[in-house]
Amino acid sequence: GILVAFLAGLGAILFELPGMSLAVSSMFVLLMAGLILYETSRIIHGGETNYIMATVSLYVAIFNLFTSLLHLLGFMNGED
């Protein structure tokens, strides 16, 4: 899922398609929300023993979610 979204994002950048960029941002929002839920579940249930990797993974997922949401909100305001 994340690899497909990444490749679609590269395609949106190369071909400068605003609709594709919006779709990629929406896809990343959904994927990162799911990743945050999955990683949090692994931390709570003891599946992740390396707390540094768990923290970094959650941080990256939250950062990606935040930037994708900013892109979506900027798109809705008419900014590109």
Length of the chain: 80
Q: What is the domain partition of the chain in residue ranges?
A: 2-76
Element (H, E) at 32: helix 18-44
* DSSP 8-state class, residue 68: H
Q: What is the pLDDT of residues 3-19, one digit of tens each?
A: 777 777 777 767 776 77
The chain-wide mean pLDDT, for the chain, equals: 83
Say what the pTM is.
0.74
